[in-house]
Amino acid sequence: MPDDAKPPFARVSLIGLGLIGSSIARAVRETMADVHLTGFDADTGVRERARALGFADAIAESAADAVAEADLVILCVPVGSMAAAASAIAGALPADAVVSDVGSSKASVAATLREALPNATIVPAHPVAGTENSGPEAGFASLFQGRWCILTPDAEADPQAVERLQDFWTRMGAKVERMDAKHHDMVLAVTSHLPHLIAFTIVGTASDLEGVTESEVIKYSAGGFRDFTRIAASDPTMWRDIFLTNRDAVLDMLQRFSEDLSLLQRAIRWGEGDTLFDLFTRTRAIRRSIIEQGQDDARPDFGRKHS
Amino acid sequence: MPDDAKPPFARVSLIGLGLIGSSIARAVRETMADVHLTGFDADTGVRERARALGFADAIAESAADAVAEADLVILCVPVGSMAAAASAIAGALPADAVVSDVGSSKASVAATLREALPNATIVPAHPVAGTENSGPEAGFASLFQGRWCILTPDAEADPQAVERLQDFWTRMGAKVERMDAKHHDMVLAVTSHLPHLIAFTIVGTASDLEGVTESEVIKYSAGGFRDFTRIAASDPTMWRDIFLTNRDAVLDMLQRFSEDLSLLQRAIRWGEGDTLFDLFTRTRAIRRSIIEQGQDDARPDFGRKHS
């Protein structure tokens, strides 16, 4: 086997076996068959289910055991649990292991990892991919195909470790970009965190009305509402943690959104049709670009079944 | 052929041949083959394309010609064009024809139709179905399968005409509900109009940032943003008209949404994780109900392709 076909890591450890952790395991199995995979999850039930699903070579009974022989450790836990997960592996982590994560906010996670693992080789990462489902059963090998994975190494990061992690994600089908952690947090605040916050809000608003019943909301949801319920069904712990750790960027984007919404509110109140029409024409173009760049399904209605 | 298999109308006229009009034509072809279908669109180019697509028996050159022999006329035009469309057919409408429409706001449209067609048998309707695409090419026969069609006849409406229209929509696969027009407008304000307004707004906000480029927004849209771009790609004229004609209900829902958003904004600012977690847990349940009731695709991520 030529050297460039050798996987960049030989023993990979996944801490957290939910949607992302279990998808990485399955993707590694498909694309880097030689890699030895060890998994751990703080939840006993998840460990048992992961064993039954069989996507890893071994499921350890402690985080320390899971990482003891790893050359790559990926923390796949909610960002609010990163400190605990990092502390749990601190004593057992091999000196030459690379530590990474998959958290959706990066500046705060980077600081947390650095504090818990002061001597480790750390390369934070964020695969921009997922579904609304959670747990080890929800993962699948192609989740990262064609999606972006953003690495946010700091200035002191070991360039070789960054290269190896980039290779690792590329093999799983992801396109890799490097970015400053603070910039990442601003980009994701608008492309992911604000959309989720708005979706959670409107689903809450709709279920709290007195003049319209929840059963009516559900019945007639195909008018647009149902689109928001998908991301509003995402994991509550994961999303609470993201909003609390990327607070400043989320509040900034939210402020801008609220201002823009007020403008449209005023246009509706005063019957200013041109203001509405001009915006609605502009927003169409963005959809086209997203589809052209392969970031969404080109079929109408996301490819939903009709019949 | 038994009597109950006979279609409720023999000659159907469709004024407006975009996504909805052309979908009705195709659905009629599939489910009520004996019905004679005439179509008209104010746009010459659309008429030509409709002729080439061949989904109607005839494409007339004027609205008056299109309805001259109809027993059902459905106005499938943006709600802001209902007055003009109704006036155009007023002189040629057979006395016993039923007039309906497919508009997303109903109280205002009902008043418009009544004024333009004072002696006609009017039964307003709203099929809660669609995609983000527009035009005669975008329609398909199964669009209404399993979706709700809401009839909003007023107190004076001819019960037989209402029954026949209900039969018509049922044959195309829709589930039919009857509702007061004002209540319809409130229900749709929350299940359709507010979601669209919010989607248009956030897509606009995202494209106007100075710190994040539009190309970054597009690249990383799989984090949630892309879900909003689908409905924000909907027809600008149609949506401008909906907001202007269902103003009061939309502004009411928008006010409630803004209040709820402020609450979450405050929770993020002050690090109140429990407030966030409790809402995010509650919103999950609504998604489950929508799927259980067949109003969305049960597959993860709307059934999008992953690979």
Q: Are A176 and A31 members of one domain?
A: yes
The two three-digit tokens of residue B187, written as one number: 């229900």
Q: What's the whole-number mean pLDDT along residues B71-78?
A: 98
Q: Are A171 and A217 members of one domain?
A: no
Q: What's the whole-number mean pLDDT along residues B43-67?
A: 98
Q: pLDDT tens digits for A276-301?
A: 999 999 999 999 999 999 999 999 99
Q: Are A58 and A164 members of one domain?
A: yes
CA distance A249 to chain B (A): 11
CA distance B78 to chain A (A): 13
**Helix intervals (H) in chain A:** 19-31, 44-53, 63-67, 82-90, 107-116, 159-171, 181-188, 194-207, 214-219, 225-231, 236-245, 247-269, 273-292
Say if B305 falls within a structural domain. no
Chain A touched by B137 (CB under 8 Å): no
Cα–Cα nearest to A91, from A60, A113, A117: A117
- Chain A residues near residue B137 by CB distance under 8 angstroms: none
Q: Are A155 and A206 members of one domain?
A: no
Q: Are A68 and A79 members of one domain?
A: yes
Cross-chain residue pair B220–A188, CB shorter than 8 Å: yes
Interface probe with A: pick from B191, B231, B282, most Cβ of A within 10 Å: B191
Q: Chain A residue with minimal CA distance to B146?
A: A307
Place of tokens 């069609």: B149
The two three-digit tokens of residue A266, written as one number: 């005023």
* Chain CA centroid to CA A100, Å: 13
The two three-digit tokens of residue B245, written as one number: 């004609």
- Chain B residues near residue A194 by CB distance under 8 angstroms: 202, 205
At A1 the pLDDT is 41
Q: Chain A residue with minimal CA distance to B185?
A: A212
Answer with the one of A137, A158, A180 that is the final residue of a domain.
A180
Say if B303 falls within a structural domain. no
At A140 the pLDDT is 97
Chain B touched by A198 (CB under 8 Å): yes
* pLDDT band of A143, cuts 50, 70, 90: very high
Cross-chain residue pair B190–A217, CB shorter than 8 Å: yes
Q: How far apart are CA B29 and CA B54, in angstroms?
A: 11
Question: What CATH number does the domain containing B283 carry?
Answer: 1.10.3660.10
Cross-chain residue pair A306–B195, CB shorter than 8 Å: no
DSSP SS3 for A176: strand
Q: How far apart are CA A111 and CA A101, in angstroms?
A: 12
pTM of the model: 0.94
Average pLDDT for chain A: 96
Q: Are B46 and B118 members of one domain?
A: yes
At B1 the pLDDT is 41
Q: What's the whole-number mean pLDDT along residues B110-117?
A: 98
Say if B302 falls within a structural domain. no
Cross-chain residue pair B286–A216, CB shorter than 8 Å: no
Cross-chain residue pair A220–B188, CB shorter than 8 Å: yes
Per-residue DSSP letters for chain B? Answer: --GGGS-S-SEEEEE--SHHHHHHHHHHHHH-TT-EEEEE-SSHHHHHHHHHHT-SSEE-SSHHHHHTT-SEEEE-S-GGGHHHHHHHHHTT--TT-EEEE--S--HHHHHHHHHH-TTSEE--EEE----S--STTS--TTTTTT-EEEE---TTS-HHHHHHHHHHHHHTT-EEEE--HHHHHHHHIIIIIHHHHHHHHHHHHHHT-SSS-HHHHHHTGGGTHHHHHHHTTS-HHHHHHHHHHTHHHHHHHHHHHHHHHHHHHHHHHTT-HHHHHHHHHHHHHHHHHHHHTTSS--SGGGG----
Q: Are A85 and A174 members of one domain?
A: yes
Chain A touched by B91 (CB under 8 Å): no
Q: Are B133 and B277 members of one domain?
A: no
At B307 the pLDDT is 62
Say if B306 falls within a structural domain. no
Say if A303 falls within a structural domain. no
Q: Any idea which of A22-26, B179-183, B283-287 has the lowest mean pLDDT? A: B283-287
Say if A302 falls within a structural domain. no
Q: pLDDT tens digits for A196-251?
A: 999 999 999 999 998 999 999 999 999 999 999 999 999 999 999 999 999 999 99
Answer with the one of B145, B179, B213 that is the final residue of a domain.
B179
Q: Chain B residue with minimal CA distance to A145?
A: B307
Chain B touched by A187 (CB under 8 Å): yes
Chain B residues 152-171 within an 8 A CB cutoff of chain A: none
At A305 the pLDDT is 85
Answer with the one of A132, A149, A180 that is the final residue of a domain.
A180
Q: Are B10 and B38 members of one domain?
A: yes
Say if B7 falls within a structural domain. yes
CA distance B103 to chain A (A): 12
At B5 the pLDDT is 78
Q: Are B107 and B174 members of one domain?
A: yes
Cross-chain residue pair B143–A230, CB shorter than 8 Å: no
- Chain A residues near residue B247 by CB distance under 8 angstroms: 268-269, 271
Q: Which member of B232, B260, B279 has the closest CB to residue A287?
A: B232
Q: Chain B residue with minimal CA distance to A265?
A: B251
Which pairs count as long-range contacts for A87-94, CB under 8 Å and 24+ apart, including other chains?
A87/A116, A88/A15, A88/A62, A88/A63, A88/A64, A89/A15, A89/A63, A89/A64, A89/A117, A90/A116, A90/A117, A91/A64, A92/A63, A92/A64, A92/A65, A92/A67, A92/A68, A93/A67, A93/A117, A93/A120, A94/A67, A94/A68, A94/A69, A94/A70
Question: What CATH number does the domain containing B51 carry?
Answer: 3.40.50.720
* pLDDT band of A4, cuts 50, 70, 90: low
At B2 the pLDDT is 45
Cross-chain residue pair A218–B194, CB shorter than 8 Å: no
Q: Are A174 and A189 members of one domain?
A: no
Q: Which member of B128, B143, B224 has the closest CB to residue A220?
A: B128
Q: What's the whole-number mean pLDDT along residues B126-141?
A: 96
Q: What's the whole-number mean pLDDT along residues A26-42?
A: 97
Q: Any idea which of A89-93, A143-147, A169-173, B301-305 has the lowest mean pLDDT? A: B301-305
- Chain B residues near residue A280 by CB distance under 8 angstroms: 200, 232, 234, 236, 239-240
pLDDT more than 90, % of chain A: 97
Say if A306 falls within a structural domain. no
Would the pLDDT of B253 be above 50?
A: yes
Q: How many separate domains does chain B show?
A: 2
Place of tokens 């209540």: B183
Q: Any idea which of A86-100, B64-78, B287-301 has the lowest mean pLDDT? A: B287-301
Q: Which member of A200, A209, A250 has the closest CB to residue B279?
A: A200
Q: Are B117 and B91 members of one domain?
A: yes
In which domain, by residue range, is B150 found?
Answer: 3-179
